[in-house]
Structure 1
Amino acid sequence: MLLELIIGSKGYLFSGDILGTQLAIRIALWIILMSVWFLREIQHYWQDRKLSWPFSYYRYFWLALTVFLTYGLAWGILKHNDPSNIFLDFNNWLYLLIVLPAYRLLNQENYKQYWPLLMAGLSWLVLKTLLLLFAFSHNIFLANTEIYRWVRDTGIAEVTEMQSGFYRIFMQSHIYVILAWLGVVLLVSWLIKKKQTSRYWLLALVALGAVVVISLSRSFWAGLVVGLLVYWPLSLLYFKLNWQQIIKTNLSWFVALLVGFVLIFGIVAFPYPKPWLDVSMLGLLSDRTDIMNEAGAASRWSLLPELWGGITINPLSGQGFGATLTYQTDDPRIRQSSVDGSYTTYAFEWGWLDIWFK
């Protein structure tokens, strides 16, 4: 389950048709995992008459989450929202429940045996991202046809050619790269405090940082900044680093990011086979940091008034899971299938406003 979450992105890397419905292996694994965990919890409660930590200490949180999910599901059904949209919307929240078996797993003495699995998944995720960047930047192995079709059909990545001539390789699974990068920064801090070598982990920072840049995700970049803002006081209060160690740690991850840029440029400009892109890294960063006019950002701004209007209709009861909105956008990806740029979706990228709307 852990490995599939890391490498599977949307979860349809492996799937099959059952009774006319496409069933992803992720859903099957989730059902098996939660069923086994639930039966084990019943067994433990029957023997000890005690709830495990997530239930006992955070029971009000789990109760509130259960009420929220039940209400959103029931209200979406009562409002006759599209059943498939309801399922997909509701399913996104259900995956929060895997923290329950994860907690049980981390409390076992042999939990460290799963670290190699985690490392293998992250290594493959990094390697796959770099290989896709190389393939598309050099147009090899029919990258624009067969590889693109495979990537699109399995949902493992979104490949987009940017105006600067760079190919954006974005995967939902890259969220684990962000977490791993921040985790390695913490580890490097600890190693520096202990005056131990950290060169292999610095190489990991280079590779992970390169993937974060390749994703060209403003949300991931913002998450990285927030993570660093949390890390800085943590390094003082928890790790108790002195100023020399703090400077050394920050220089380590900063230099690693710069080397990550060099790695990306080396992949794109590698002379064999002949690259067919003329990439401007400064132009690329300028495009992605333009939060008003860049296509994706402009699309979100176009959605905002419609989303706010939907919220004001039912500010207390909401619209339920699966509720949709239609808005106009100049995003070229939408314009390819919609002449007037109208787009209807149940998934919004406005965080808490999305939750409020539903």
Structure 2
Amino acid sequence: MQSTLTSKSIFQNWQVPVMFLIFFGIRALSFLLVDQMIIQAILVFLILMTLGILYFKNPDWAFYLVLGELFLGGSGHYLEFINLSIRALLIITFILLWTLYAIGNQKLLQNIDLNKKFSVILFVFYLFLIISIISGIRYDHAVVSIIQDLIPFLYLPLLFPAYHLLSKPKTQEYFIRLLIVFLISSAVFSLFTFILFSTGIVELQEPFYKWFRDVSMGKITNMGAGFFRVVLPEHLLITPIILIISSLLMRDEKHHKMWRFLLFLASIILVINLSRIYFVAIIVGLIVLKYKHLWKRWFIISTTTLGLIFLIFTSLFLISSGGKSLGLELFGIRISSIASPHIEESSATRIMIFPEALKMIGTAPILGQGLGASITFLNTVTYKQITTRQFDWGYLEMMVELGILGSLALVSFIFFAIWKLIEKINHAPDWHDFYVGLLASIVAFLIINITSPAIFHVFGIFFFVFTLAIALQPMDIFDRLINILYRIFNRIEQ
């Protein structure tokens, strides 16, 4: 692979420090402007103007702006305009510009004709989505709630421009830099937040906490002994990142030390997040990684990954508790609550919701009750009726809102992606690791969706959009993919 290398690696680029600056700068700016809606509106307008100018200069540049916000902009709500996030406005505007540009050049049908089967699936799903909107209105669901549930699905057409633009080497390199900066910066931000609360510098209900909860859409929970859970929406991407890196490391050759460093950082985020279903998804995903990998290499990397996660957890807990505990009790409770949900509050609440969700499905099993649904259940601890839009059951929420038919149409996207990836793996027997990692990531998403809306969450939709954009590429991208993977951190030695 020496012949494929250049004087600089893909990661060694001027864009990288700029990306780091944007990641932390947008968070600092958002915190300072949290109540300054007029200034936020002006900034949103300027960014949208920039998007339009960039698009007519070069569509690739506009796509870079959209990708940059997606991976560096957290929840997408750091800037808003009349309750619309900068992310929603950027992506919908970009899709409209791309569509109008394609129509103007009489290339729309050509550009959206990626695969006949996929086109049928997309058409059928949007048909059921329209029915779900109508059902939501018929069931008197709040219009705002319907729109909030609809927005992630409006991002699916991003697949068409993503497919064409990601076929370009410069876009691929930019995409890789974004992913790496996203991972490193997310680990730093999660650890920084963890330290703030663990040391008592910042406490719950203070301005930073409220900004983190209401703008970053995060969650901070005191787990005791100075250990705080730090959860953010973008953490949904950490499980697939861990699985893809693990899959790449399973190739029996010498790997750049940065890959193991990135695995370490991703594991820190996973540990601080401390979501049980993520750990289950990692284990199941690692099992899937055995596909096409040698037993010895698979076992070494899998045990190393799990051991690293456990070591980070015990080390962080030992430090946060002042050396008093390794956190084994907490870890045991979190794991045990999967089988015995009554021993942990959030698991117990999920069990309370379960029968009510089944009843809601029973009232409209075929087409569902529509988008914007909420659920009311009896809390058997407080004996109070609670109404919430958080179902805590991904598949049940899908069936409540989309019905069985709409849910099957959505799941069809996933099985189509699995089929295309297996096709790629079978045609690339000597360098299949990246595709196997994507396959394991899809399975992990299916596991996570048991207890959370992973596959119809904004980041879930984006994951499947970009996975399909890669899986649908012609096989000649294979040689370029190998080239890119080797060039991420490697360069010609001077």
In structure 2, what residue type is equivalent to 1:210? I
SS at match of 1:283: helix
In structure 2, what residue type is equivalent to 1:356? M
- Unmatched tracts of structure 1, length 5 or more: 236-240, 270-274, 332-338
Once structures 1 and 2 are overlaid, which stretch shifts more, 180-189 or 161-170?
161-170
SS at match of 2:291: helix
CA distance in 1, matches of 2:238, 2:215: 20
User: Is the contact between residue 133 and residue 268 of structure 1 (CA under 8 Å) also seen in structure 2?
Assistant: no
SS at match of 1:328: strand
Aligned to 1:10: 75
In structure 2, what residue type is equivalent to 1:213? V
| Shift of residue 141, structure 1, vs aligned partner | 4.7
Which of 298, 311, 314 is the equivalent residue of 1:246? 298
SS at match of 1:260: helix
User: Is the contact between residue 315 and residue 326 of structure 2 (CA under 8 Å) also seen in structure 1?
Assistant: no
Aligned to 1:335: none
Q: 1:259 to 1:163 in 2, by over 3 A?
A: closer
User: Is the contact between residue 164 and residue 280 of structure 1 (CA under 8 Å) also seen in structure 2?
Assistant: no
For residues 73-101 of structure 1, the C-alpha deviation after alignment (integer angstroms, 9 at most, x for no partner) is: 12212332211111112223323333333
Structure with the greater relative contact order (CA < 8 A, sep ≥ 6): 1 or 2?
Answer: 2
Q: Does 1:162 align with 2:223?
A: yes
CA distance in 1, matches of 2:204, 2:388: 29
**Number of aligned pairs?**
331
CA distance in 2, matches of 1:34, 1:105: 13
| Shift of residue 36, structure 1, vs aligned partner | 2.6
For residues 227-278 of structure 1, the C-alpha deviation after alignment (integer angstroms, 9 at most, x for no partner) is: 212211142xxxxx3x433333334323432442355246525xxxxx6x96
CA distance in 2, matches of 1:267, 1:172: 26
In structure 2, what residue type is equivalent to 1:354? E
Cα RMSD after superposing both structures? 2.6
Aligned to 2:376: 326
Q: Does 1:286 align with 2:286?
A: no
Q: 1:51 to 1:126 in 2, by over 3 A?
A: same
SS at match of 1:221: helix
SS at match of 1:159: strand
CA distance in 2, matches of 1:2, 1:107: 15
Aligned to 1:135: 196
SS at match of 1:152: helix
SS at match of 1:342: strand
In structure 1, what residue type is equivalent to 2:118? Y
User: Is the contact between residue 3 and residue 121 of structure 1 (CA under 8 Å) also seen in structure 2?
Assistant: no
Aligned to 2:447: none
SS at match of 1:13: coil
Which of 60, 70, 79 is the equivalent residue of 2:130? 70
Equivalent residues in 2 for 1:137-286 (5 A)?
A: 137-141=198-202, 145-163=206-224, 165-190=226-251, 193=252, 195-235=253-293, 241=294, 243-265=295-317, 268=320, 281-286=327-332
Q: 1:357 to 1:49 in 2, by over 3 A?
A: closer
Which of 111, 118, 121 is the equivalent residue of 2:182? 121
Which of 313, 322, 346 is the equivalent residue of 1:296? 346
User: Is the contact between residue 166 and residue 279 of structure 1 (CA under 8 Å) also seen in structure 2?
Assistant: no
Q: 1:340 to 1:12 in 2, by over 3 A?
A: farther
SS at match of 2:96: helix
Q: 1:203 to 1:265 in 2, by over 3 A?
A: farther
| Shift of residue 43, structure 1, vs aligned partner | 5.0
In structure 1, what residue type is equivalent to 2:331? L
Task: State percent identity of aligned pairs.
Answer: 26
For residues 314-352 of structure 1, the C-alpha deviation after alignment (integer angstroms, 9 at most, x for no partner) is: 222321111222112368xxxxxxx75422123422222
In structure 2, what residue type is equivalent to 1:12? H
In structure 1, what residue type is equivalent to 2:75? K
Q: Does 1:102 align with 2:167?
A: no
Q: Does 1:79 align with 2:139?
A: yes
Once structures 1 and 2 are overlaid, which stretch shifts more, 131-140 or 111-120?
111-120
CA distance in 2, matches of 1:303, 1:158: 20
Q: 1:151 to 1:166 in 2, by over 3 A?
A: same
Aligned to 1:316: 366
CA distance in 1, matches of 2:203, 2:355: 41
In structure 2, what residue type is equivalent to 1:113? Y
Which of 370, 374, 391 is the equivalent residue of 1:348? 391
User: Is the contact between residue 324 and residue 344 of structure 1 (CA under 8 Å) also seen in structure 2?
Assistant: yes
| Shift of residue 47, structure 1, vs aligned partner | 4.5
CA distance in 2, matches of 1:76, 1:261: 43
SS at match of 2:220: strand
Q: 1:94 to 1:27 in 2, by over 3 A?
A: same
Q: Does 1:42 align with 2:116?
A: no
CA distance in 2, matches of 1:97, 1:281: 45
User: Is the contact between residue 102 and residue 108 of structure 2 (CA under 8 Å) also seen in structure 1?
Assistant: no
SS at match of 1:228: helix
| Shift of residue 57, structure 1, vs aligned partner | 4.3
CA distance in 2, matches of 1:330, 1:138: 35
Q: 1:79 to 1:184 in 2, by over 3 A?
A: same
User: Is the contact between residue 207 and residue 260 of structure 1 (CA under 8 Å) also seen in structure 2?
Assistant: no
- Unmatched tracts of structure 2, length 5 or more: 1-65, 402-494
